Amino acid sequence: MAAPAPVTRQVLGGAALAPVPTGPERGQPLAAAVAELPVLDARGRLVPFGSLFRDRRAVVVFVRHFLCYVCKEYVEDLAKVPQSFLREADVTLIVIGQSSYHHIEPFCKLTGYSHEIYVDPEREIYKRLGMKRGEEIASSGRSPHIKSSLLSGSLRSLWRAVTGPLFDFQGDPAQQGGTLILGPGNNIHFMHLDRNRLDHKPINSVLQLVGVQQVNFTNRPSVMHV
CA-based nearest residue to 188, from 4, 16, 26, 9? 26
Euclidean distance between CA atoms 41 and 43, whole angstroms: 5
Q: How far apart are CA 92 and CA 192, in angstroms?
A: 18
For residues 18-39, average pLDDT: 70
**Residue 135 pLDDT level (bands cut at 50, 70, 90):** confident
CA 142, 212, 124 angle in degrees (round to 5)? 70
pLDDT at 199: 82
Greater pLDDT, 161 or 110: 110
pLDDT value for 46 = 98
| Closest C-alpha to 150, from 69, 62, 73 | 69
**Phi–psi pair at 78, nearest 5 degrees:** -60, -35
For 65-82, the pLDDT digits (tens) are 888 888 889 999 999 999
The region, left, alpha or beta by phi > 0 then psi within -120 to 50, assigned to residue 57 is beta
Report the pLDDT averaged over residues 92-97: 97
> What domains sit in the chain, N to C, each tagged with a CATH number?
28-136+144-210 (3.40.30.10)
| In the chain, alpha helices (H) | 32-35, 69-78, 83-89, 104-111, 124-128, 150-163, 203-209
pTM, entire model: 0.76
Better-predicted residue by pLDDT, 153 or 56: 56
